[in-house]
Structure 1
Amino acid sequence: MAQPPATRASWPIFRSLAGFQPSNLPGDLIAGLTLAAIAIPEQMATARLGGFSPQIGFFAFMAGSLGFAMLGANRFLSCGADSTITPIFAAGLALMATAGSPDYQSLAMALALMVGAIMIAGGLFKLGWIANLLSTPVTVGFLAGISVHILVSQLPGVLGLTTPDGPTLYKLGVLAENIGQTNAYTLAIGLGVLALVAGSEKISARIPGALIGLVVATIAVIAGHLESKGVKVVGIVPGSLPKPSFPDIAPERWIKLLSLAILIAIVVMVQTAATTRSFLSDPDKPADVDRDFLGAGAGSLLAGLFGAFPVNASPPRTGIVSETGGRTQLSGLFAAAIVLALLAFGATLLQHVPDAALGGVLLFVALRIIRVKQIITIFRQSFYEFLLVVATAAAIIVLPIEQGVAVGIALSLLHGIWTTTQGQLAEFVHVPGTTIWWPAGPHVTGERKPGIAVVGLQAPLSFLNAEGFHGGVLKTIGHATPKPKLLVIEASGMIEIDFTAAQALRDLFRECRDDGVTVAVARLESSRAQDAFERFDLYDVLQRDHVFRSVDEAVRTLGQG
């Protein structure tokens, strides 16, 4: 029998194992085996995407799996090297060191430690709301832009061409010019692996198409002596096991990494929250996002200590664990143990894996993260938000990638601010035969009562819209015939009132009083708004008994004079 929730919640570490039962073991082992089969090629490919040797991807996966199992709450979530954040931090690190150099790896380790620390602080200080910084259109555009970066970065390996330096669009131009020099063998391997992975996914996500593709491609390279025909391979993969160490970099370089670490941490928070909410440990309980921030942060900390780079939650791998019978984080630990065994005893099996095969895996990953259906839906339902998708994707493609991501976050925040400022003042009318007052509209049958004006703002009242609200109310009163004797502010939409808004309300209450208009507030339901009335001394200018639970009550009490 599973332990009661209170007992599980009291576990300081390995909370996701608290409800483990012996009957869970077969499912966890099968899920772990499937996860390892999918993660091995993916982690190798993601490491190469970031400019690291393949075994560094294995270190990242083991660190992410162990760290999340220790401090995370979600029973299914898989944490490790991730193709969403890798292009971002790789571009940032490349500005400070040559990719693949010891200095580059030291910077990656330092970055992982910083991201881990930020994530843990986010979990401890309950900053789960940060995951909502990216709106859906911006997130879709962000993924589309990242996808283009991955595609462009992997095309040279699949085509058998030298990777050009420079911006993404410049790289595309160079590749187009040299397309005639494509190596037919590498192209066949890359597209063959892509087709095999896509076909396997189409049949069942449980089929390790990437692993099958790598095995087939490797056999083809060996049997056909394709290395002599220009097919590049991974080469010798050191069988060394991860050893704890601390990056030796100058203090000023830690400071230079801070902005990149914050950027990566925000993206990890967004993806971790989305993943854990999509695959709930208990369908009857909300996701513990803050606790899962701790798990993802612990994964990055361990990755930094063991020579790897920042890690992230993976929605596809998490889905695999959930679909193949995983019940606890034991599945992730088992997968990590398989990867560790591969490093210790079977690293030599990887030396003939062709680079083009890893490129084929990443091409599939890139194509999968483009949410075409969602882009079409946004275009059909909200064109201006579709422009957000386009602008975010364009910023990430055209600008240096870390700057593009920052622009995407800024666009998301500006979108939220703009939406708040668009909160319109609504005039309410009485629905005949009822006690209901409803916002006026073309499809609403209602009546206005002489001498009474009922208005409301269906948005938080803040510095962004306070002046417009104040002016709009006075305009409504001034244009009404006859002039209202009672003004009722329907406040159900005012879930928040800041200092600037409170001053606007004080001025409005005074001006109405001086003009002979009685003011009442109805449905002040938000506890934060109620607290604002107390903190900002609004009851000094509005009588407490002029706050009512409904518009009808306010009208019946004060509108008879």
Structure 2
Amino acid sequence: MSLAIPPLTGARRLLPILSWLPLYQREWLRADFLAALAVWAIMIPEGMAYAGIVGVPPIMGLYTIVPPLVAYALLGTSRLLVVGPDTATGLISALTVGAIALQGTADFNTLTSTLAVLIGVFFLLFGALRMGWVAAFIPTPVMRGFIEGLVCVTIIGQVPHLLGIGGASGNFLVKLRYLLQHLPDISLAPMLAGLLSLVAMLLLRRFVPRVPSALVVAVSATIIVGLLGGEASGISVVGSLPTGLPHLLMPAFDPRILMELAPGALAIVLVGYAEALGGAKAAALQGGGEIDPNQELVAHGPANILSGLFGGFLVVGSLSKTSVAMAAGARTQVTHLIAAVFCFLTLLLLTPLFRDMPHPALAAIVIAAMLHLSKPDYLRDLFARSRSELALAAVVILGELMLGVLQGIALGVVIALLMLIYRTSHPKGAVLGQLPGTEAYRDVEMHPEALTFPGLLIWRTGGDLFFASIGFFSEGLKGALAASHPPAKHVLLDTGSVNFMDTSGCDALLTIIRELQSQGITFSFARVRDRVRDRMRLGGIEAAVGSANFYERVTDGVRAWQRNAVVRPAITP
């Protein structure tokens, strides 16, 4: 599909739908209509099931569907991304609100909707500030470790519902111990309902993936339990659900409560946005179009605010639901507008049909969704590619299991930031040599065949030179000079990797140059970027070295040194 999007005006930037809707082709309507049925078929049962993760009644899962679908269709830049309830962020919501109110109470439900509004405000604020880059601070191993740990935490929380026994609060180990202690309390009827539902979900996804397995299992389990007498059969059911549309809900705007909700809201925005942006980019690769990261933040704002105001909970872009839409042939966001109409009619007319839906079946839907999220192959691949990043993912997983979900993701982000700081402050400098028969210069440790030049040290800086890295650069350079044989009398600095130099780095580099010049060592530079050259000029480095000693290529610097020193290259012993 190809849409020639006209140039963006102010209105089109605010409402991206104005860019593509005028170009909509009538022949796409059939595909979008059928895809909308598939989206509806997955969002109704999963919305009710995910409400259990968030810790609220199933009806709130239905309230969560319609407003976000409409809001994102109007404001989002992805043609295919589906915004709705989510497992990963849903558990963070439950933990955040659970620290303030008791689950199962009206206060808990109200605060859950309040949290959604607060999340929407943060999304809007970050979008207005054009902070689409924030997702970069969750590296893939941290995100993957977070999801793998979340799979374990969510499943252990749903297994008691699957088996028909009570649950427990606490971390993974506490819930696991509780489950093992209460295995004798399992009743046959709920256990069979849960396990058969789970097996059916897994088999349908494996052998007939195009069938809406969640809807099939939910409807089948509801009919069977209803025929057996509903709750009288010994199986816990959803019970009566209110019919009709939700009323506008005033969030709890108590400043103290908002302050307590804010850390969880920020964590959800960071994690949810990273997940949503990944889903939007994956959809763009298949369906075409361009994604505006900042507009995606803006679009998630009203989606969450409206969900909270209408009695729902948080939403983010979902890759799993988007995959369903794409597999069903969706062409544009018209799919999701039609799906919103179907869900709207469900609220008006069909909620009485869900009265006998068994809780074990809802737990099975959640567990199957979490198993689908798990990607152990990624961890095996990471083991071969980077042990340090595998360790980072493992720390996140263990942090979630032992400390908690929020603590686990926070620990992973903090460690990732520390690793980033370490790497930027420890640039990997290297002695360079010339590859035989070429004008290419490479690290002599990686390329022992590279030629070096007696009396000349070619040193690659390895990264930016600023207050945190200049000390490590100085140690590396002086160490290379001390190890050179015969002792180098000229240093050619390859600064092609230096994009930034602050005043601290400039002053320190000038001090290093003058110190080595006092020892009879001269300096020249190669591949200096214009902005870095300006810094060197203002900082006095150019005057100390001489403007003639700046070269466009390493080869030019080497040839100039050869003309001055009249020496021949030799292979490093």
For Structure 1 versus Structure 2, the TM-score category normalised by the shorter chain is over 0.9
Q: How far did 1:286 drift?
A: 5.3
d(CA) in 2 for partners of 1:204 and 1:407?
A: 39
Partner residue in 1 for 2:557: 554
User: In structure 2, do the counterparts of structure 1 residues 32 and 528 end up closer, same or farther at CA, with 3 Å as the change threshold?
Assistant: farther
User: In structure 2, do the counterparts of structure 1 residues 505 and 438 end up closer, same or farther at CA, with 3 Å as the change threshold?
Assistant: same
Q: How far did 1:150 drift?
A: 0.8
Q: Is the 8 A contact 1:281 1:287 kept in 2?
A: no
Partner residue in 1 for 2:87: 83
Partner residue in 2 for 1:93: 97
Q: Is the 8 A contact 1:2 1:21 kept in 2?
A: no
Q: Is the 8 A contact 1:2 1:20 kept in 2?
A: no
Q: How far did 1:219 drift?
A: 1.0
User: In structure 2, do the counterparts of structure 1 residues 145 and 282 end up closer, same or farther at CA, with 3 Å as the change threshold?
Assistant: closer
213-222 vs 299-308, greater mean Cα deviation: 299-308
TM-score (norm 1): 0.93
d(CA) in 2 for partners of 1:78 and 1:188?
A: 33
**Aligned runs of 1:134-533 on 2, under 5 Å?**
134-280=138-284, 287-421=291-425, 423-525=427-529, 529=532, 533=536
Say if 2:5 is the partner of 1:5. yes
User: In structure 2, do the counterparts of structure 1 residues 537 and 85 end up closer, same or farther at CA, with 3 Å as the change threshold?
Assistant: farther
User: In structure 2, do the counterparts of structure 1 residues 233 and 74 end up closer, same or farther at CA, with 3 Å as the change threshold?
Assistant: same
8-17 vs 188-197, greater mean Cα deviation: 8-17
One-letter amino acid of the counterpart of residue 71, structure 1: L
Partner residue in 1 for 2:41: 37
d(CA) in 2 for partners of 1:285 and 1:151?
A: 36
Q: How far did 1:541 drift?
A: 4.3
Q: Is the 8 A contact 1:420 1:460 kept in 2?
A: yes
Q: Is the 8 A contact 1:155 1:359 kept in 2?
A: yes
Q: Is the 8 A contact 2:79 2:287 kept in 1?
A: no
State the superposition RMSD in angstroms.
2.4
Q: How far did 1:326 drift?
A: 1.0
One-letter amino acid of the counterpart of residue 41, structure 1: P
d(CA) in 2 for partners of 1:503 and 1:235?
A: 73
The superposition leaves residues 83-129 of structure 1 with CA deviations (integer Å, 9 ceiling, x where unpaired) of 01011121111110112322222322222222112222322333222
Q: How far did 1:81 drift?
A: 0.9
Q: How far did 1:528 drift?
A: 6.3
Q: How far did 1:416 drift?
A: 2.5
| Structure 1, unaligned runs of 5 or more | none
One-letter amino acid of the counterpart of residue 489, structure 1: L
User: In structure 2, do the counterparts of structure 1 residues 20 and 13 end up closer, same or farther at CA, with 3 Å as the change threshold?
Assistant: same
d(CA) in 1 for partners of 2:241 and 2:203?
A: 29
The superposition leaves residues 137-167 of structure 1 with CA deviations (integer Å, 9 ceiling, x where unpaired) of 2112111111112111111111110112333
The superposition leaves residues 140-198 of structure 1 with CA deviations (integer Å, 9 ceiling, x where unpaired) of 21111111121111111111101123333112111101112212222222222222222
d(CA) in 2 for partners of 1:214 and 1:45?
A: 10
Q: How far did 1:9 drift?
A: 6.7
d(CA) in 1 for partners of 2:534 and 2:34?
A: 53
d(CA) in 1 for partners of 2:537 and 2:294?
A: 31
User: In structure 2, do the counterparts of structure 1 residues 496 and 273 end up closer, same or farther at CA, with 3 Å as the change threshold?
Assistant: farther
What percentage of aligned pairs have identical amino acids? 26
One-letter amino acid of the counterpart of residue 550, structure 1: R
Q: How far did 1:405 drift?
A: 2.2
Partner residue in 1 for 2:73: 69
TM-score (norm 2): 0.92
User: In structure 2, do the counterparts of structure 1 residues 7 and 479 end up closer, same or farther at CA, with 3 Å as the change threshold?
Assistant: closer
103-112 vs 268-277, greater mean Cα deviation: 103-112
d(CA) in 2 for partners of 1:86 and 1:213?
A: 22
527-536 vs 395-404, greater mean Cα deviation: 527-536
24-33 vs 356-365, greater mean Cα deviation: 24-33
User: In structure 2, do the counterparts of structure 1 residues 550 and 251 end up closer, same or farther at CA, with 3 Å as the change threshold?
Assistant: same
427-436 vs 491-500, greater mean Cα deviation: 491-500
User: In structure 2, do the counterparts of structure 1 residues 543 and 43 end up closer, same or farther at CA, with 3 Å as the change threshold?
Assistant: farther
d(CA) in 2 for partners of 1:9 and 1:318?
A: 28
User: In structure 2, do the counterparts of structure 1 residues 28 and 478 end up closer, same or farther at CA, with 3 Å as the change threshold?
Assistant: same
User: In structure 2, do the counterparts of structure 1 residues 154 and 423 end up closer, same or farther at CA, with 3 Å as the change threshold?
Assistant: same
SS in 1 for 2:308: helix
Partner residue in 1 for 2:569: none
d(CA) in 2 for partners of 1:479 and 1:3?
A: 61
Q: How far did 1:422 drift?
A: 5.1
d(CA) in 2 for partners of 1:538 and 1:162?
A: 72
User: In structure 2, do the counterparts of structure 1 residues 403 and 8 end up closer, same or farther at CA, with 3 Å as the change threshold?
Assistant: same
The match for 2:31 among 19, 27, 30 is 27
SS in 2 for 1:279: helix
Q: Is the 8 A contact 1:189 1:356 kept in 2?
A: yes
Q: Is the 8 A contact 1:60 1:81 kept in 2?
A: yes
One-letter amino acid of the counterpart of residue 330, structure 1: V
d(CA) in 2 for partners of 1:280 and 1:533?
A: 43
One-letter amino acid of the counterpart of residue 185, structure 1: A
Tell me how many residue pairs correspond in the alignment: 560
d(CA) in 2 for partners of 1:524 and 1:21?
A: 53
d(CA) in 2 for partners of 1:396 and 1:531?
A: 48
One-letter amino acid of the counterpart of residue 313, structure 1: G
| Structure 2, unaligned runs of 5 or more | 565-573
User: In structure 2, do the counterparts of structure 1 residues 282 and 547 end up closer, same or farther at CA, with 3 Å as the change threshold?
Assistant: farther
User: In structure 2, do the counterparts of structure 1 residues 439 and 199 end up closer, same or farther at CA, with 3 Å as the change threshold?
Assistant: same
User: In structure 2, do the counterparts of structure 1 residues 169 and 7 end up closer, same or farther at CA, with 3 Å as the change threshold?
Assistant: same
User: In structure 2, do the counterparts of structure 1 residues 442 and 537 end up closer, same or farther at CA, with 3 Å as the change threshold?
Assistant: closer
